[in-house]
Amino acid sequence: MVTDAAILEAVGEVVDPEVPVLTIADLGVLRGVRHEGDEVVVTITPTYSGCPAMDLIRHEVELTLQALHVHGRVETVLSPPWTTDWMTEAGKAKLTDYGIAPPPGTSAPAPFPPSQSRANAPVLLQLSIRCPLCGSPNTSELSRFGSTSCKSLWRCNSCREPFDHFKAI
């Protein structure tokens, strides 16, 4: 029998098809694994409700369960909504190495419990986005909309290179 920890680890390695250096564990999209009788339920939360990558992520999770010989299903949970606070520090470092500026702030230790509102959460202030290529804070936003809905397009005024910035949500 495969343990919940082994299932969580294996499923957590499913890669985000839009940002292939990140896993769903890095993103904080993977919420948990639980048993309902003989069935394993993997819970995921999309980065936003219309995220087109979720169908492929769901399919990859199902294939991972099959490879583990585990009878299971994937459940999508929309509340509480995903936040970039759920991204791991390792995931943010992977984004920088990949050339995408990560969202500001530090990762939360765990997703907000359903009873906790984000209304009382601290508001993060960042005066500039650092260029992931040269590290300069001398950057400017070119477009609020980037290559995917979760990214915006920026330019470094020092090295003159364009780069994506993963939007804080």
45 in Cβ contact with 82 (< 8 Å):
yes
Average pLDDT (87-97) is: 95
| 151 half-sphere exposure, CB direction, 13 A CA radius | 17
Question: How high is the pLDDT of residue 126?
Answer: 54
The answer on pLDDT for 116 being more than 80 is no
| pLDDT of res. 41 | 96
Domains assigned to the chain:
4-76 (3.30.300.130), 88-113+124-166 (no CATH)
Residues composing the chain = 169
Residues 6+ apart with CB under 8 A from 37: none
How high is the pLDDT of residue 148?
A: 82
Q: What is the CB neighbour count within 10 angstroms for residue 36?
A: 10
pLDDT tens-place string over residues 125-156: 556 899 999 999 999 999 998 888 888 999 99
pTM metric for this prediction: 0.78
Q: Please enumerate in sequence order all residues whose Cβ is within 8 A of that of 44, keeping only pairs 6 or more positions apart, or say none.
A: 24, 29, 30, 31, 54, 57, 58, 61, 74, 75, 76, 77
| Amino acid at site 137 | P
Q: Is the peptide bond before 20 cis (omega within 30 degrees of 0)?
A: no
DSSP 35-85: EETTEEEEEE--SSTT-TTHHHHHHHHHHHHHHTT--EEEEE--SSPP-GG
pLDDT tens track for 11-67:
999 999 999 999 999 999 999 999 998 899 999 999 888 888 999 999 999 999 999
